[in-house]
């Protein structure tokens, strides 16, 4: 098979997977009545609602943003109670 065709197929499937992430809300902010950006760790394991606060992005985050063509608008958050840090998108 043509090498360019292979690259094209891989690229299309990559973008398709990114959109699946978006459709299935993988890594999306958790919001409910009580807070609009809850800590996933506290909510799942401690049954507690704790809002996340924004922290500075890492260099690896910027790479990830470039690799995902910035379709997610990723931001890094930290939980004040359990210390969870991670990327979420809105
Ligand atoms: Zn937490």
Domain-embedded: residue 17 = no
Please report whether residue 59 resides in a domain: yes
In angstroms, rounded to a whole number, what is the distance separating the alpha carbons of residues 83 and 66? 26
Q: Is residue 32 part of a domain?
A: yes
> Is 51 within the bounds of a domain?
yes
**Cα 74 to averaged position of ligand 1 atoms, centre (Å):** 18
DSSP secondary structure letter of residue 68: T
Rounded Cα distance, 47 and 44, in Å: 6
Q: What is the CA(68)–ligand 1 centre distance, in A?
A: 26
Q: How far does residue 21's CA lie from ligand 1's centre (Å)?
A: 23
**What phi and psi, each to the nearest 5 degrees, are found at residue 53?**
-115, 150
Number of domains into which the chain is organized: 1
Q: Ligand 1: distance of its center to the CA of 71 in Å?
A: 26
pLDDT tens, position by position, 49-83: 999 999 999 999 999 999 999 999 999 999 999 99
Q: Is residue 66 part of a domain?
A: yes
Indicate whether 74 belongs to any domain.
Answer: yes
Quote the radius of gyration of the chain (alpha carbons, Å): 16
Domain that holds residue 48: 27-88
Record the pTM.
0.85
- Give the confidence band of 46 by pLDDT, cuts at 50, 70, 90: confident
Is 5 inside any structural domain? no
Q: How far is the CA of 55 from the centre of ligand 1 (A)?
A: 14
pLDDT in tens, 7-45: 999 999 999 999 999 999 999 999 988 889 999 999 999
Residue at 60 is within a domain? yes
């Amino acid at each position: 098979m043509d090498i360019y065709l292979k690259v094209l197929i891989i690229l299309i499937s990559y973008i398709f997977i990114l959109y699946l992430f978006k459709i299935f809300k993988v890594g999306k902010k958790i919001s409910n009545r009580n807070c609009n950006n809850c800590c996933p760790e506290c909510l799942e394991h401690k049954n507690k609602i704790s809002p996340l606060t924004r922290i500075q992005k890492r260099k690896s985050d910027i790479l990830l943003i470039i690799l995902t063509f910035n379709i997610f608008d990723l931001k890094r958050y930290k939980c004040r109670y359990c210390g969870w840090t991670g990327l979420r998108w809105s």
